[in-house]
Amino acid sequence: MDYNVIALFELKLVEGDIKVVEEEQYRLVPSDQVSDIDLQTYRI
């Protein structure tokens, strides 16, 4: 199991049921491994 990955979900309530609209997975890295280009890409 990779402990450096997180998943974020967008959920929606549909007729009383919770549905997954979108799932994205992200790898967590130390801040010194994030480049200026990465920051521009993610608009941070």
Residue 4 reports pLDDT greater than 60:
yes
> How many structural domains is the chain composed of?
1
pTM of the model: 0.59
pLDDT at residue 44 is higher than 60: no
The parent domain of residue 19 ranges over 5-41
| pLDDT value for 3 | 86
Residues 6+ apart with CB under 8 A from 15: none
CA 6 to chain centre: 6
